[in-house]
Structure 1
Amino acid sequence: MDSSPDSLIGYDFEFSHRLRFLSWPEPIVRVQSLAESNLTTLPDRYIKPPSQRPQTTTTNHKPEAATINIPVIDLDSLFSGNEEDKERISEACREFGFFQVINHGVRPELMDAAREAWKSFFNLPVEAKEVYSNSPRTYEGYGSRLGVEKGAILDWNDYYYLHFLPLFLKDFNKWPSLPSNIREVVDEYGEELVKLGERLMRLLSSNLGLKEEQLQEAFGGEDVGACMRVNYYPKCPRPELALGLSPHSDPGGITILLPDDQVVGLQVRHGDTWITVNPLRHAFIVNLGDQIQILSNSIYKSSEHRVIVNSQKERVSLAFFYNPKSDIPIQPLQQLVSPTNPPIYPPMTFDQYRLFIRTQGPRGKSHVESHISSR
């Protein structure tokens, strides 16, 4: 199936037109290849300015459970009516924008199989991976940078990006064929995470005092978008100078992250502090994206986060994005605005919104903040 931007029925014309001219500004260098060349110093292109460098490095790559520090939500308990869990998830959405979920309904064996399949992919010879090399027009495939700014300071990661929904974007030919089970495993994994995304949307909606289906309807009902970015963070010779992923808030709806539970890396900004998240085994880390913040009129928060890297261990994580339909306007829901609490954000389609990160790469929360209405 042709998935070039001009063939995507229903996609915003301006978005498609501007993507047509995007290309990488410089030759792509695979970070994994750099890491495997036994570097003792870090190339200048990956050295962050002093103000952006992590303050500490991670030497203990296996986290201690006692230091878990974002809310943990038991979905079974919550759906059974546990009031403490309802309050906990409500506080997490308003204060952190992040929480972990356990008893979420996705089989642990499937989670492990998906992670292991992607580890096997990234361990293939580089020639086998280059077949799937991507471009900034869609980001679909094997990549090593975000944004098209020439001379930008880059992040220490490679990734693979693919689509699940809408179905006309789902093209198995653009998914890896090796290891031999990867397409089957990833397809089943995606189906399960779409279901989990739907459950989470009902929870978020009811906790705003809305009907359970209201946020889902604002996303386009059954016509939502879903995609996945698999992140590979190689060992880094100077982790105190680099970041695996620069600070940003996710532009979409809900992100469901399957982290590496043996190697910490995700950090969440809470006030003026970067909190290092220590993941529970077989839990998902959920974070709210900018579209949820906009729909809730900033009652819910999308939080800035980043990824630190490790000199001793590589790390693989799977980020699943549950997003609005690309061409419908997203704006604060009428039930959440009033004369004393007017809408903060003007309408904008998700396609228009995400063009910012497609072209400029991760830039903190600058886009959602620049989107605030002037009044």
Structure 2
Amino acid sequence: MMNCLQSWPEPVVRVQSLSESGIRAIPDRYIKPPSDRPGFENQEHVDIPVVDLKNLFSHDRTLHEETLKLISSACKEWGFFQAVNHGISHELMKRTREVWREFFNSPLEVKQEYANAPTTYEGYGSRLGVQKGAILDWSDYFFLHYLPVHLRNPSKWPSLPSSCRDLISEYGAEVVKLCGRLLKAMSISLGLKEDYLQNAFGGEDIGACLRVNFYPKCPQPDLTLGLSSHSDPGGMTLLLPDHDIAGLQVRKNGKWITVKPVPNAFIVNVGDQIQVMSNAIYKSVEHRVIVNSVKDRVSLAFFCNPQSDLLIEPAKELVSEDRPALYSPMTFDEYRLYIRTYGPRGKTQVEFSGSNR
């Protein structure tokens, strides 16, 4: 299967260039089957979990435990929540998002210098998965490695705008700290030692990467998606959305719910690997992204992952006769090959691995 990851199966088309060309109808390769197309009908109001993290490590035991309960409830019932008072500078968040907007608005020849390949996905890309003839998503992206340090290669990060590399480094360092706090909170709320998930991810040498998504305006947003339905294959995702217009949808009780971003919040997604380690006590969230005909959108997805060669399996403390292990050991490298081959496909990868791991 690895041979199919050496190059893209078809010439790569930049979606932003399609959008800016003035087309009134999207090419067939972006048109989703009717069952996968977004519905824009009015939806009933649903309270999306919002967790205030200011008391997460408070000396007040009661406030601390209340925050842990909120995190636990959100991870069990939703698989995600919006985190406020997370400790990361709002100005840093804004500057990092805007420098990436500048990158995507750079001339195509500048961006093409960073064109990626499916061997690592690192760089400027426009498709996920290497299946020939696949129906594609209406988005471009930039993917880069942040941790472990030996995989980090700043020369592959954009040199323009001039502040981009410094902002990536500063932003990444702050988000990694927040990931560590959240992993500790999730471990405790599962009844595990506070460093369990961090250690299972590789201790100080966890994996971390960033995918910056660019969703261009679309002349027929009812026919396509910016990102097809999927759950994140890694451990945990911290998403910095574009607050100007909603795009993220999550699947709850068989219905798609559009998430209205809370200003200056991170959207925290449980990934498949935490679903595995928790023996499905915490569930990864199935989600997708809709597009619109009015405004381009930029979002930053920071993935906190296990080291690629570590075996991931349910915590022994969460396995019993009444609740046997639902997953057998598998490395993260083996696991993510599925989505790198087939692209996003709902939660089929974690369901498939549950029966075949």
Q: Give the TM interval when normalised to the shorter protein.
A: over 0.9
Aligned pair 1:49/2:33, yes or no? yes
Once the two structures are superposed, residues 313-370 of structure 1 have per-residue CA deviations (whole angstroms, 9 ceiling, x without a partner) of 1100000000001101000000000111110000000000000011110011001001
2-structure distance, mates of 1:331, 1:86: 23
Which residue of structure 1 aligns with residue 124 of structure 2?
A: 142
Which residue of structure 2 aligns with residue 169 of structure 1?
A: 151
What percent of counterpart residues are identical? Answer: 62
1-structure distance, mates of 2:15, 2:345: 21
Once the two structures are superposed, residues 116-157 of structure 1 have per-residue CA deviations (whole angstroms, 9 ceiling, x without a partner) of 000000000000000000000000000000001111110000
Once the two structures are superposed, residues 171-226 of structure 1 have per-residue CA deviations (whole angstroms, 9 ceiling, x without a partner) of 11100000010000111000001101100000000000111101111111112100
How far the C-alpha of 1:374 sits from its partner, in A, is: 7.0
Aligned pair 1:116/2:98, yes or no? yes
Q: Is the 8 A contact 1:149 1:360 kept in 2?
A: yes
TM value normalised by structure 2: 0.96
For residue 23 of structure 1, what is the amino acid of its counterpart? S
The 5-angstrom pairing of residues 1-375 of structure 1 reads 18=2, 21-56=5-40, 69-80=47-58, 81=61, 82=63, 83-373=65-355
1-structure distance, mates of 2:118, 2:23: 28
How far the C-alpha of 1:94 sits from its partner, in A, is: 0.4
User: Structure 1 residues 20, 40: CA separation in 2 closer, same or farther (over 3 Å shift)?
Assistant: closer
How far the C-alpha of 1:284 sits from its partner, in A, is: 0.2
Count of residue pairs brought into register by the alignment? 352
Q: Provide the secondary structure at the position in 1 that maps to 2:276.
A: helix
1-structure distance, mates of 2:229, 2:145: 24
Q: Is the 8 A contact 2:239 2:266 kept in 1?
A: yes
Q: Is the 8 A contact 1:255 1:320 kept in 2?
A: yes
How far the C-alpha of 1:19 sits from its partner, in A, is: 5.9
Q: Is the 8 A contact 1:68 1:277 kept in 2?
A: no
2-structure distance, mates of 1:164, 1:374: 30
1-structure distance, mates of 2:344, 2:356: 24
Q: Provide the secondary structure at the position in 2 that maps to 1:310.
A: coil
Q: Provide the secondary structure at the position in 1 that maps to 2:204.
A: coil
Q: Is the 8 A contact 1:328 1:349 kept in 2?
A: yes
User: Structure 1 residues 57, 149: CA separation in 2 closer, same or farther (over 3 Å shift)?
Assistant: farther
Q: Provide the secondary structure at the position in 2 that maps to 1:188.
A: helix
1-structure distance, mates of 2:303, 2:310: 17
Q: Is the 8 A contact 2:231 2:284 kept in 1?
A: yes
Q: Provide the secondary structure at the position in 1 that maps to 2:203.
A: coil
Q: Is the 8 A contact 1:57 1:310 kept in 2?
A: no
For residue 13 of structure 2, what is the amino acid of its counterpart? V
For residue 334 of structure 1, what is the amino acid of its counterpart? K
Farther off after superposition, 72-81 or 224-233: 72-81
1-structure distance, mates of 2:284, 2:6: 27
How far the C-alpha of 1:85 sits from its partner, in A, is: 2.7
Q: Is the 8 A contact 1:31 1:157 kept in 2?
A: yes
Q: Provide the secondary structure at the position in 1 that maps to 2:349.
A: helix
User: Structure 1 residues 309, 294: CA separation in 2 closer, same or farther (over 3 Å shift)?
Assistant: same
Which stretches of structure 1, 4 residues or longer, exceed 4 Å deviation after superposition? none
- Any unmatched runs of 5+ in structure 2? none
- Any unmatched runs of 5+ in structure 1? 1-16, 59-66
Once the two structures are superposed, residues 56-101 of structure 1 have per-residue CA deviations (whole angstroms, 9 ceiling, x without a partner) of 179xxxxxxxx67321111112322424432221110001001010
For residue 29 of structure 1, what is the amino acid of its counterpart? V
For residue 72 of structure 1, what is the amino acid of its counterpart? V
Q: Provide the secondary structure at the position in 2 that maps to 1:99.
A: strand
Q: Is the 8 A contact 1:68 1:278 kept in 2?
A: no
